[in-house]
Amino acid sequence: MTVLPPRALDAGISGWRGVSRRLVWVDVAGVLVSAVGGAVIAALLFLVLPDPLVGRIVAAVVVVVTVIRLILAPRRVRAIGWILRDDDLVVRRGILLSRLVAVPYGRMQLVDVNRGPVARILGLAELRLVTAAATSDVTLPGLPEQEATELRDALVARAEERRVGL
């Protein structure tokens, strides 16, 4: 797995593919679940501590963070992209901290398709790639289930071809 500088490939490669826009709803569901958890903590602090100010501050922080995450959810989804090249799969993601990762086909050890409950309802899946490097897990969320399965099969076939040549 090679981590490339953010602008290294953007300028020279066309054909980037994005993920499904329905991934925004999966992201929103995750934000709302964490907001409920934060609200429960704020309520407990409000009830347990003698000064209710701490509970109010925590509740205000939870509301602000939730609103910001909900506003940024569509942009985060648009920032995820991938492209198949001759020798590797390149995945990009991130708004503020942009990450561009190239995973050579010959280094892939596991290509897995996962479906969470909300994603399954929306017909989406997540493709997870594992290489020999300890920090090399690369995930590509928000693919339609059929596309994720086809991409997994194509990556496995290309990985087998590359390993035979080693």
69 and 101 fall within a common domain? no
0.85 cut: is pTM over it?
A: no
Cβ contacts of residue 17 below 8 Å, gap of 6+?
A: 81, 82, 83
Q: Do 57 and 45 contact (CB within 8 A), yes or no?
A: no
Q: Do 113 and 126 contact (CB within 8 A), yes or no?
A: yes
pLDDT in tens, 43-55: 999 888 888 888 8
Q: Edge to edge, what strands does the sheet with 108-114 contain?
A: 108-114, 124-131, 138-144
102 and 61 fall within a common domain? no
Supply 123's token pair: 């017909």
32 and 72 fall within a common domain? yes
15 and 92 fall within a common domain? yes
| Consecutive H or E run containing 142 | strand 138-144
| Whole-angstrom distance, CA of residue 20 vs CA of residue 143 | 6
**pLDDT for the residue numbered 164:** 61
pLDDT in tens, 40-83: 999 999 888 888 888 899 999 999 999 999 999 999 999 999 99
Q: What CATH number does residue 158 fall under?
A: 2.30.29.210
Residue 166: band (very low, low, confident or very high) from pLDDT cuts 50, 70, 90: low
